[in-house]
Structure 1
Amino acid sequence: MNTHDLALFVRIADSGSITNAAQQLDITSAAASAALKRLEKELAVQLFIRSTRQLRITAEGEHFLLHCRQALDALEEGTASMNALQGKVFGELRISAPSDLSRNVLIDCMDEIMELHPNLSIHLNVSDSMADFYLDRVDLALRYGQPEDSSLIAFKVATFDRILCASPSYLSSFGMPSHPNDLKQHNCLIYQLKNRLFDLWSFSCNLEGKKESVKVKVNGNRSCNDGDVVRRWVVAGKGIAYKSRLDMAEDLHAGRVVRILPSFGSSPVELNLICPTRKQVTPAALLLRDTLRKKLSELLNN
């Protein structure tokens, strides 16, 4: 059975039109009609009821469509597996990732991968909001924490904590806090998402063998829904930020910012590469995962 005919059948079922399916596959409508008739002859069933105005899938067609999708998916996965064994990486990756990570880490990883694999194309959607895999046509998403939907496939790429940090110039002008409660007297740079201000900062530490938890309601004259803007503000000396150590790693190493109150930290945070189904776990996706793991480990252990 011709796999091209099977793929055409799925396209016709999805689009509801032989003409539209033909255009998507860059063939003529006559060729598409001939392929559909050929498939129906092989199966000895009518897959669609045709009229001059509409095309409607039959009950037999609905039944075959389910098996046809599974067969094509299995063939695609098998081809990807063979390509992986041969070291071939190509195709297209549609990625959604947070602003900090995209600008400061991910674009370098993308350049490294695409230089080695020129037949791969990557489309990057930069947003701190959670992408919809289906509406936004996203194959992979980099997100902090475990996904709430247990059906999604998550690969951990890094674990880190959040830290308080400020520039040397800010601390020279306004002084060094000695306890999280002192933050109430400082200008704090606040992250926001969907109009929610993340201005309640939580810390924990062990002092003299006793675990202490502190929550501080902070305030300041700057807030933004873009994490990288908050990072730029803290580097520029505009205030104190509570950011992931991953986002601030290069600035800490270069001395552009310093860590404040290192004995007060946060619970560990995971960064995961999330795929909606096994179909998206391609050689390209696994290569991105491994490249990110290496890059992020170097950053966090520098």
Structure 2
Amino acid sequence: MRDTVQPADLGFFSTLAASGSLSAAARELGLTAAAVSKRLTQMESRAGVALVNRTTRRMMLTPEGELYLEHARRILDEIDELSELLGSAKKSPKGLLRVNATLGFGRSHVAPAISRFVARYPQVAVQLQLSVTPPPLTDDAFDVCIRFGEPPDTRVVAKRLAANRRLLCAAPAYIASRGMPLTAHDLTRHNCIGIRQGDEAYGVWRLSAGRGAARKTEAVRINGTLTTNDGEIAVKWALEGHGILMRAEWDIKQYLADGSLVRVLPDHETPNADIFAVYSQRHQMSNRIRAFVDFLALELSGETGERA
């Protein structure tokens, strides 16, 4: 029973699963396909279950294989992390870094920053995945997730990277034809461009105005003819005069600066949208992750014009 799982099998199976086929794994491991097949058979014999369903062209993990892979990757990550922590903190970061970000922000800001990061730290390999819907904060598939708004989950570390606001805006042509809203309630009579992203409540904009005891927050249910899950498309529609848009400042500041878009209800505030790097508590001492998060914070503070 004690030999059901051998340490050397963890890396082998992780490579096998990532390769997608026995022949591809053989090339990656520098072995013959027959040797890979034999080792897999030995693993399955020790485990007492089938880990892989084999076909002539590809292979699929069984439910037991998926479970094995999940734990293998977690253990390998922890071994890698332990090796890093035992080494000098002054050593250059190295190893694999898995990053998740939203489509628009990831494409325009995170990807260019990663390009510069790996140029500075060539021993770090980065996998960037962009998604419309952010993964769960405790998902072990990623080392660092870039999020908007401080996560409420206390099981993760959230480091603020840069200030960010959501602003209401519209094209001058739209305002000229429909008028400028003067109150939050006026938005109900306008065409508003909707964005469906993540778990955020769709179709309701929360706006606050005033100070102290006079401060008031309103939840406005918007109406409009255009909806998308892509922020870039939503901005394009706003530029073309189709309606009022609520969008992060980083995405529209260039258009506000050149007059292509104008602020709507500038005296109203929206919920916090500061940019955070989120990672597991067990990763907070990782030299690789700390280097990336610090690098990204410096990059974004310069891009957003935030003062330290």
TM-score normalized with structure 1 length: 0.70
Aligned equivalents of 2:32, 2:138: Cα separation in 1: 29
Contact 2:206 2:271 in 1 (8 A): no
State how 1:267-278 maps to structure 2 within 5 Å: 267-276=271-280, 278=282
Aligned equivalents of 1:83, 1:248: Cα separation in 2: 43
Letter of the 1:8 partner, please give it.
A
State how 1:22-33 maps to structure 2 within 5 Å: 23=26, 25-26=29-30
Q: Which residue of 1 aligns with 2:221?
A: 217
Contact 1:189 1:220 in 2 (8 A): yes
Q: Which residue of 2 aligns with 1:199?
A: 203
Q: Which residue of 2 aligns with 1:151?
A: 155
The secondary structure found in structure 1 opposite 2:187 is helix
Q: Which residue of 1 aligns with 2:8?
A: 8
Q: Which residue of 2 aligns with 1:301?
A: 306
Aligned equivalents of 1:295, 1:100: Cα separation in 2: 17
Aligned equivalents of 2:74, 2:103: Cα separation in 1: 36
State how 1:78-93 maps to structure 2 within 5 Å: 78-81=82-85, 82=87, 84-86=89-91, 88-93=92-97
Contact 2:161 2:297 in 1 (8 A): yes
The secondary structure found in structure 1 opposite 2:46 is strand
| Pairing partner for 1:56 from 43, 46, 52 | 46
| Pairing partner for 1:233 from 221, 226, 237 | 237
Q: Which residue of 2 aligns with 1:42?
A: none
Matched, 1:141 2:158: no
Matched, 1:120 2:124: yes
Matched, 1:287 2:291: yes
Identical aligned residues as a percent: 25
Bigger Cα Rg: 1
Contact 2:133 2:199 in 1 (8 A): no
Change in Cα spacing, 1:223 to 1:195, as seen in structure 2 (3 Å) is: farther
Q: CA RMSD in A?
A: 4.3
Matched, 1:129 2:133: yes
| Pairing partner for 1:169 from 170, 173, 189 | 173
Letter of the 2:278 partner, please give it.
I
5+ unaligned residues in a row in structure 2: which ranges?
1-5, 17-21, 49-71
Q: Which stretch has the larger CA shift, 131-140 or 236-245?
A: 131-140
Aligned equivalents of 1:207, 1:74: Cα separation in 2: 48
| Pairing partner for 2:115 from 111, 116, 121 | 111
Contact 1:133 1:139 in 2 (8 A): no
Aligned equivalents of 1:195, 1:300: Cα separation in 2: 28
Q: Which stretch has the larger CA shift, 189-198 or 123-132?
A: 189-198
Contact 1:99 1:228 in 2 (8 A): no
Q: Give the C-alpha shift of residue 204 in structure 1.
A: 0.9
Aligned equivalents of 2:159, 2:230: Cα separation in 1: 24
Contact 2:162 2:306 in 1 (8 A): no
Aligned equivalents of 1:207, 1:148: Cα separation in 2: 25
Letter of the 1:301 partner, please give it.
E
Contact 1:165 1:258 in 2 (8 A): yes
Q: Give the C-alpha shift of residue 203 in structure 1.
A: 0.8
Contact 1:99 1:126 in 2 (8 A): yes
State how 1:255-266 maps to structure 2 within 5 Å: 255-266=259-270
The secondary structure found in structure 2 opposite 1:268 is coil
Change in Cα spacing, 1:114 to 1:168, as seen in structure 2 (3 Å) is: farther
Q: Give the C-alpha shift of residue 155 in structure 1.
A: 2.2
Q: Which residue of 1 aligns with 2:68?
A: none
Contact 1:89 1:120 in 2 (8 A): yes
Contact 1:83 1:89 in 2 (8 A): no
Contact 2:171 2:240 in 1 (8 A): yes
Change in Cα spacing, 1:167 to 1:296, as seen in structure 2 (3 Å) is: farther
5+ unaligned residues in a row in structure 1: which ranges?
1-5, 37-49, 59-67
The secondary structure found in structure 1 opposite 2:135 is coil
Q: Give the C-alpha shift of residue 194 in structure 1.
A: 6.9
TM-score normalized with structure 2 length: 0.69
Q: Which residue of 1 aligns with 2:99?
A: 95
Q: Give the C-alpha shift of residue 8 in structure 1.
A: 0.8
Letter of the 2:306 partner, please give it.
N
Aligned equivalents of 2:164, 2:255: Cα separation in 1: 16
The secondary structure found in structure 2 opposite 1:241 is strand
Change in Cα spacing, 1:172 to 1:71, as seen in structure 2 (3 Å) is: closer
**Residue-by-residue CA offset, 1:152-175 (whole Å, 9 max, x unaligned):** 333222343322112233223332
Aligned equivalents of 1:208, 1:162: Cα separation in 2: 21
